[in-house]
Amino acid sequence: MDYAPAQFHRSARKLAEPGEPFAYTPENQAKFDENVTRYPPDQRKSAILYALYLVQQQQGYITGAGMQHVAEQIRCTAADVEDVVSYYTMFYTKPVGKYVLNVCRTLSCALLGAERVTEELSEKLGITPGQTTADGVFSLIEVECLGACDRAPVVMVNDDWHERLSPGDAGQFVDDIRTKGRATFTGCHLHVEKK
């Protein structure tokens, strides 16, 4: 059963702040239209995570209007979309910095100083985990195991990886990002090949 977006349904409820009106750019619309064909025609909802990533790419975070737009694309209720957004940690419902520093805090990284890394970053940036700097450049988030425990401590910055960040280098790391941007990151060590 399809719920047309305008149709009343009992699970429809007030969303997070709607924010600016939102619609996909033509490029993102095309990407979504391709992605949704990967699933059976009556299972459009499978594309919801992909649809939300597109919203997040386009506006940096996911507003109520963004969720509404996804609901129209998927043909479900906006409440269904909010249900999904609120479950997954990689979706942001508030603005985040240009660089989101996701510091792994789980055991293997913690054994090699991840707690200290977070402390150093926190001190350097003047924010606590979960906050964004006033200039909007950095957000600091503690995340759970990133799956690169042999290169601890690991920090994921947006979609890039930085491995073996020692507490002593954390301050310099922030300075480097400010001057060099993405070139600062080590990337995944698995890319390194034999000469």
Partner 1 sequence: MAYEPVLIKDVREQGSYTLDFYVKQARGYEGLKKSLTLKPNDIIEQVKASGLRGRGGAGFPTGLKWQFVLKDTPKPKYIACNADESEPGTFKDHVLMERNPHLLIEGCAIGCYAIGAKVAYIYIRGEFYHVQEMLERAIEEAYKAGFLGKNILGTGFDCDVYVHRGAGAYEAGEETALIESLEGKRAQPRIKPPFPAVAGLYQCPTAVNNVETLCNVPLIVLNGPEWFAKLGPEKNGGPKLFCISGHVKRPGVYEASMHTTLRDLIFGDQYAQGMKDGRKFKAIIPGGSSVPILLEQHLDTPASFDHIQKAGSLLGSAGLIIMDDSVCMVWLAMNLLHFYRHESCGKCTPCREGGDWLYKLLQRVERGEGQMKDIDLLYGIANNIVGKTLCAFGDAAATPVLTTINLFRDEFEAHVREGRCTLPAPWRARHAMVAAH
For partner 1, the binding residues in 144-163 under the rule CB under 8 A are 144-152, 156, 159-161
Calculate the alpha carbon distances from 127 to 112, 144, 155 in Å.
Answer: 23, 19, 17
Cα 159 from Cα 172, distance rounded (Å): 20
Cα 180 from Cα 35, distance rounded (Å): 34
Map residue 13 onto helix, strand or coil: coil
Question: Binding string to partner 1 for residues 7 to 36, with x set by CB under 8 A, is what?
Answer: ------------------------------
**Is residue 125 a contact point for partner 1 (CB under 8 A)?**
no
- For residue 83, what is the enclosing H or E element? helix 78-85
Minimum Å gap between C-beta 183 and partner 1 is 16
For partner 1, the binding residues in 39-68 under the rule CB under 8 A are 40, 43-50, 52-53
Comparison of 88 and 179: residue with beta carbon closer to partner 1: 88
Minimum Å gap between C-beta 52 and partner 1 is 7
Residue 150's CB: how many other CB atoms inside 10 A?
9
State the first-to-last Cα distance of the chain, in angstroms, to the nearest integer: 57
Candidates 89, 134, 135, 179: give the one binding partner 1 (CB under 8 A): 89
Piece in contact with partner 1 (CB under 8 A), picked from 2-10, 16-24, 141-149, 169-177: 141-149
